[in-house]
């Protein structure tokens, strides 16, 4: 496969997900978990995620492993994953805290991912481990990266988060455009990405057109 196709495929992994593919995951603090564990009546049936948890729990946007798998198939129908290690029975080996390291290969590029299944047991835990590891490894390819980023960086707050998948294109200054054109010329950036992220005015469109015709 050509370098260009691989690059385009890897870029496609980063495309935003549709709002209906983005779910809500409760992220309780340890204190909240302990409180509900000690007295389940401290919890509520949540009308955001459907789970039973402390009423003040913050929710993070996340893309489930089915939507991630769909994206991987779209980009590379022959994508694969394998565990980093096997146990004595030839099964995927978990680490000493019950997590699973995997290798995810997309378009011939392999990256590591790690999954855990905190709070689950039995067969569900295994499925969760795999799904979580895939989500984590795919994130290393930029898949749903914004949501992870958001989850890590945003502190709890009262107002609901905006829908994550819709990205407004912003205006670009002339000097920044000049920088972007430089990068397009040396292959670090593309015209498609420029248009996807920025709204150019008529004058800037002309500058761009002239620059890339040269
Ligand atoms: Zn919830």
Domain segments of the chain as ranges: 3-148, 170-213
Reported as type and span, the H/E element at residue 23 is strand 22-27
Ligand 1 centre from 3 Cα, in Å? Answer: 43
**CATH 2.50.20 matches 3-148:** no
85: nearest Cα among 124, 114, 109, 105? 114
188-212 tens-digit pLDDT: 888 888 888 888 888 888 888 888 7
Average pLDDT for the chain: 86
Ligand 1 centre from 23 Cα, in Å? Answer: 11
Ligand 1 centre from 112 Cα, in Å? Answer: 30
Ligand 1 centre from 160 Cα, in Å? Answer: 13
Which residue bears the tokens 């999954």?
115
pLDDT at 181 (0 to 100): 87
- Assess whether pLDDT exceeds 80 at residue 119: no
Considering Cα of 134, then 138, then 144, then 147, what sign does the dihedral take? positive
What are the tokens at 134? 């895939």
Provide the pLDDT confidence category of residue 154 given band limits of 50, 70 and 90.
Answer: very low
8-37 tens-digit pLDDT: 999 999 998 988 888 888 889 999 999 999
On whether the CB atoms of residues 194 and 166 are closer than 8 A, the answer is no
- Report the SS3 class of residue 132: helix
Ligand 1 centre from 163 Cα, in Å? Answer: 17
pLDDT at 167 (0 to 100): 56
Ligand 1 centre from 110 Cα, in Å? Answer: 34
Note residues around ion ligand 1 (Cβ under 5 angstroms). 26, 46, 48-49, 51
87: nearest Cα among 126, 118, 119, 120? 126
């Amino acid at each position: 496969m050509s370098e260009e196709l691989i690059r385009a495929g890897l870029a496609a992994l980063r495309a935003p997900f549709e709002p209906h593919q983005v779910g809500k995951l409760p992220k309780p603090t340890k204190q909240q978990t302990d409180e509900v564990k000690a007295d389940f009546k401290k919890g509520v049936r949540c009308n955001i995620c459907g789970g039973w948890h402390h009423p003040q729990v913050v929710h993070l946007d996340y893309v489930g492993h089915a939507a991630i798998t769909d994206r991987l198939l779209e980009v590379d129908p022959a994508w694969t994953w394998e565990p980093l290690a096997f146990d004595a029975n030839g099964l995927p080996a978990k680490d000493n805290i019950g997590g699973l390291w995997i290798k995810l290969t997309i378009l011939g590029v392999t990256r590591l991912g790690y999954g855990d299944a905190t709070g689950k047991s039995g067969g569900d835990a295994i499925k969760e481990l795999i799904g979580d590891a895939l989500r984590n490894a795919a994130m290393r390819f930029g898949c749903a990266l914004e949501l992870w980023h958001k989850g890590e960086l945003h502190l709890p707050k009262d107002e609901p988060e905006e829908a994550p998948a819709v990205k407004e294109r912003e205006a670009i200054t002339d000097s920044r455009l000049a920088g972007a054109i430089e990068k397009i010329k040396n292959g670090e950036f593309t015209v498609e990405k420029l248009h996807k992220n920025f709204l150019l005015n008529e004058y800037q469109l002309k500058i761009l057109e002239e620059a890339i015709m040269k």
